[in-house]
Amino acid sequence: MKSPVITAQDLSVRVDGREILHKVSMAVQPAEIVTIVGPNGSGKSTFLRALIGAVPLASGRVERAPGLRIGYVPQKLALDSALPITVRRFLSLPRRISDDRVTDAMSRAGVPGLESRQMTDLSGGQFQRVLLARAILERPQLLLLDEATQGLDQPGAAAFYQRIEEVRRDLGCAVVMVSHDLHVVMAASDRVLCLNGHICCEGAPEVVADAPEYRALFGTGTKGTLALYRHQHSHRHDADCEHDHSHGAD
Amino acid sequence: MLDDFMVRAALAGVGIGATSAPLGCFVVWRRMAYFGEATAHAAVLGVALALALSSPVLPAVILASLAMASAVTLLRGHGYAMDTLLGVMAHTALAAGMVAVSLISDARLDLMAFLFGDILAVSRSDLLVIWGGGATVLGLIAWQWSNLLISTLNPDLARAAGVDPRKAEIWLTLALALVVAVAIKVVGVLLIAAMLVIPAAAARPLAKTPEEMAAGAALIGGFSALSGLYAAYILDTPAGPSIVCAASLVFVVTTTVRALKARKTPRI
């Protein structure tokens, strides 16, 4: 097995005295697609932000492969209309990026030719794709996506994930994404990680979908998630998970 | 030439207008208008401090503004309702500063000069402070430009690109305190925030990129200073407020032109 691009070891995060993440450990292999699912308030976004170093760790550590280039697509990017900025300028921040690179990334992300448009004039789908283009500009070895399809309709989201798979195939980067589009995402993932403050269960999509911890969180019929999976076992709760599996209020 | 008070006033006005405006762009983009106000109002506390210690005014004002800016920055993100808190802090600083000044001050001190500026009394050494301070601020902003911009757009994007958004914020705070300190003489404590926000807002409709907006704001700031000063001379009105009014007029013009254009060519 190759050495992982990024490793989280017993990572805990506290925000205002409340423990958001408790001893989360995971490693991402090169070119692997890992999806993180979990209810609202389960710490999914916090986990991604901890990986890029945006939140202080209460304990544990994050190890990156030497010289690791990370592309990041944030959950929400509310651009203030008081700030005029073209797509081209947005992509050239904070470092100047050559025209060739921009053109290449824009076409890979599926939004060629939008360079001179204002960011605030873009449609939701275009905006997300420009964010993706930005994330892959410097040919990252690791792509982190935090609910990147928020605000997209289902065909839009499906097309977006297809783009991601293409990007992974062409650039060979590992992908870690947080998502709510369970069925689409799980089908596209190599590995699924079910998070609720800690890692409830993880493994191949079929395995996780069958795991009692996962079912306790998402039920058996949510959003047609399990339509992908033929055999449904009877619902049961295992006792090997010490905490409450209620849908977190956030 | 520098012997003429009008020439010195014009140079001071252009210096302040052209340096506060690009900084003001960040104030507008980061929705910090009230933050700028609090920082400016704290300057009165600095004046009181300088009087109490019989020390030079400039360093004391920089110190007070920095203290206020740091306090606000620290409190932000700790669950306080910023809007209310800034309002409380800004006006408390202003009121407490004025009370303190009147308690300490001898009869010679003209509080009005600090509140509304006294651009016609700018001396050669004031000019040196204004242009020196202005150049420092512009240098700081230019040096941190990309980092500030990406941190303003999204702190997490900055992190992912290897930029520490907190560091950028510290530089911005420092620049703000400097501008406030050197601008007191020109427009006064009460109207500094206006010179930060109005030229930047006036430049917004003309700009397609952040750089265009900053350059436009600097031009508008300088132009407002000159035309405001001229109007004050002709109409015999107070100089500081006239400069701010000139900037507001430019704002009305650019915003109206933009609105009319948008009506003619609907955006796709």
The predicted-structure confidence for B48-73, as pLDDT tens digits, reads as follows 888 888 888 889 999 999 999 888 87
CA distance B21 to B200: 6
B152 to chain A, any CB pair closer than 8 A? The answer is: yes
Which of B157, B158, B204 comes nearest A84 by C-beta? B204
CB contact under 8 A, A52 and B204: no
> What tokens does A172 get?
């060979």
In Å, what is the CA distance from A170 to each residue of A139, A166, B14, B218? 10, 6, 54, 45
CB contact under 8 A, A72 and B153: no
CB contact under 8 A, A80 and B29: yes
- Average model confidence (pLDDT) across chain B: 89
A77, A81, A86, A89 alpha-carbon torsion, rounded to 10° = -60
Cβ atoms B89, B38 nearer than 8 A? yes
Strand partners, A202: A193
What are the chain A neighbours of B213 within 8 Å (beta carbons)?
A: 83-84
Which of B154, B210, B213 comes nearest A74 by C-beta? B154
B75 to chain A, any CB pair closer than 8 A? The answer is: no
- In terms of CA atoms, which chain A residue is nearest residue B159? A54
Residues in chain B, how many?
268
CA distance B182 to B166: 25
B28 to chain A, any CB pair closer than 8 A? The answer is: yes
Domain residue ranges of chain B, discontinuous segments joined by + = 5-264
Assigned CATH class of B5-264: mainly alpha
Task: Please state at what angle helix B192-203 crosses helix B239-264, rounded to 10 degrees.
Answer: 20
B146 to chain A, any CB pair closer than 8 A? The answer is: yes
A129, A134, A138, A139 alpha-carbon torsion, rounded to 10° = -20
SS3 B78: coil
CA distance B195 to A133: 37
Interface test with A, best of B145, B152, B157 (most A CBs within 10 A): B157
Q: How far apart are the first and last CA of chain A?
A: 39
Give me the domains of chain A, ranges plus CATH numbers.
1-69+144-243 (3.40.50.300), 76-138 (no CATH)
In Å, what is the CA distance from B135 to each residue of A214, B132, B175, B210, B244? 60, 5, 11, 20, 22
| DSSP secondary structure code for residue A86 in this structure | B
Which of A83, A86, A93 comes nearest B146 by C-beta? A93
- Output A39 or B66, whichever has higher pLDDT: B66
CB contact under 8 A, B204 and A82: yes
3-state helix, strand, coil in chain A (%, to 5): 35, 25, 45
CA distance A23 to B145: 38
**Residue A203, exposed/middle/buried by CB under 10 A (0-12, 13-18, 19+)?**
middle
Q: Which stretch of A186-190, A200-204, B79-83, B161-165 has the lowest confidence by average pLDDT?
A: B79-83
Separation in Å, CA of B21 to nearest CA in chain A? 14
What are the chain B neighbours of A80 within 8 Å (beta carbons)?
A: 29, 31
What are the chain A neighbours of B163 within 8 Å (beta carbons)?
A: 94
CB contact under 8 A, A94 and B156: no
CB contact under 8 A, B213 and A84: yes
Q: What is the pLDDT of residues A84-130, one digit of tens each?
A: 999 999 999 888 999 999 999 999 888 999 999 999 999 888 898 99
CA distance B12 to B127: 6
What are the chain A neighbours of B154 within 8 Å (beta carbons)?
A: 74, 77
Residue A154: the pLDDT is 79
B150 has a pLDDT exceeding 70: yes
Who contacts B159 (Cβ-Cβ below 8 Å, separation ≥6)?
A: A49, A52, A53, A54, A72, B165
CA distance B182 to A184: 58
- Average model confidence (pLDDT) across chain A: 82
B265 to chain A, any CB pair closer than 8 A? The answer is: no
Strand partners, A113: none
Contacts across the A-B interface (CB distance below 8 Å): 70
SS3 B43: helix
CA nearest neighbour of B183 among B23, B32, B34, B27: B23
Separation in Å, CA of B23 to nearest CA in chain A? 13
CA nearest neighbour of A85 among B99, B204, B88: B204
B156 to chain A, any CB pair closer than 8 A? The answer is: yes
- In terms of CA atoms, which chain A residue is nearest residue B164? A54
CB contact under 8 A, B159 and A52: yes
B2 has a pLDDT exceeding 70: no
CA distance B51 to A47: 52
Task: Please state at what angle helix B57-75 crosses helix B82-104, rounded to 10 degrees.
Answer: 160
What are the chain B neighbours of A127 within 8 Å (beta carbons)?
A: none
Dihedral-angle region of residue B131 (phi above 0 means left; psi in -120 to 50 means alpha; beta otherwise) = alpha
What percentage of chain B exceeds 70 in pLDDT?
94
Q: What is the pLDDT of residues B82-94, one digit of tens each?
A: 778 888 888 999 9
A233 has a pLDDT exceeding 80: no
Q: Which residue has the tokens 């001379």?
A: B233
CA distance A129 to A107: 10
What are the chain A neighbours of B267 within 8 Å (beta carbons)?
A: 121
B209 to chain A, any CB pair closer than 8 A? The answer is: yes
CA distance B139 to A250: 43
CA distance A144 to A52: 9
Who contacts A170 (Cβ-Cβ below 8 Å, separation ≥6)?
A: A108
| Average of per-residue pLDDT across A71-77 | 86
Q: Which stretch of A35-49, A134-148, A203-217, B121-135 has the lowest confidence by average pLDDT?
A: A203-217
CA distance B202 to B94: 27
The runs of H, that is alpha helices, within chain A are 44-52, 87-91, 99-108, 124-136, 154-171, 182-188, 205-210, 212-218
A239 has a pLDDT exceeding 50: no
CA nearest neighbour of B232 among B187, B266, B268: B187
